[in-house]
Amino acid sequence: MAHGRILFISDLHLDAAAPAVIERFIEFLRVDAAASDALYILGDLFEAWIGDDDENPAAARVRDALRALTADGVACFIQHGNRDFLLGARFMAASGCRLLPDPAVLDHGGTRFVLTHGDALCTADRGYQRLRRIVRSAPLRGAWRALPLAWRRRLAALARRRSRAYTRQAPPSIMDAQPAAVAALLRATRADVLVHGHTHRPDVHRVPVQGRERTRIVLGDWPDRSNALVVHAGGRYELRELQPAAP
């Protein structure tokens, strides 16, 4: 066990249609995460999640790999993403993971981190923000869970096609985290470092807030360019590339 070392990843988008990414993740759990004290998954672990009752072999492999990690004493926290916000208590219990609120504040090695999936920071995309509020409302989530599993699968596939079409035509500028939203979150949480995913634009940014320079770290998406933020016991951190960008 690496005393005090913790890992952050995001946007794995695990799916049966991309078995190589699942294998890469399972190997990451077996080697990198097992040598750490904690793993934080900041949303979109899965490409889609229609409910904890959707039993499929690919999801079961991921769940069992997470269970092996947590059973070995490594704490694992999962934040909801825009693709898998229906991950619930049944999955958490079966995997041994714990659900992390969004945003969440973590003090580690003398550094104060704020963790978020990142979609709430894309405030210029007003259409998406309206949709986000609607689909995450308790009445709609309850109605969704009441639908037959086969219906949910078909509707989820339709939603993914529409999402891809929207992403292709939307201006790139509105799909990125907005500076005002970033500064507001750092200010409200008094954090030194903001860590998020969602935008698929891995980088490290310096952000001036209230006369002091803070840091924004953006995690990459695993199907394209997987990386992990490694934070050591003393607070030193590095954004480690695990898979080069696709050509």
175-188 residue pLDDT tens: 899 999 999 999 99
20-69 tens-digit pLDDT: 999 999 999 999 999 999 999 999 999 999 999 998 999 999 999 999 99
CATH class, 6-241 region? alpha beta
DSSP-derived pairing of the beta strands 104-108 and 111-116: antiparallel
Pick the range with the lowest mean pLDDT from 7-21, 62-76, 169-183.
Answer: 169-183
Q: Is 196 helix (H, G, I), strand (E, B) or coil?
A: strand
109: left (phi over 0), alpha (psi -120 to 50) or beta: left
Average pLDDT of span 80-106: 97
pLDDT band at 234 (very low <50, low <70, confident <90, very high): confident
Q: Tell me, what amino acid is at 162? A: R
Strands (E), 148-236: 193-196, 203-209, 212-218, 227-231
Instruction: Determine phi and psi for 167, rounding to 5 degrees.
Output: -60, -40
Query: Which tokens sit at 53?
Result: 């009752």
DSSP-derived pairing of the beta strands 212-218 and 203-209: antiparallel
Identify the pLDDT of residue 162: 87
**Contact present, 229 and 236 (Cβ < 8 Å):** no
- 161 by Cβ neighbours in 10 Å (0-12 / 13-18 / 19+) ranks as exposed
Residue with tokens 């550094």: 111
Count the neighbouring beta carbons within 10 Å of the beta carbon of residue 96.
Answer: 17
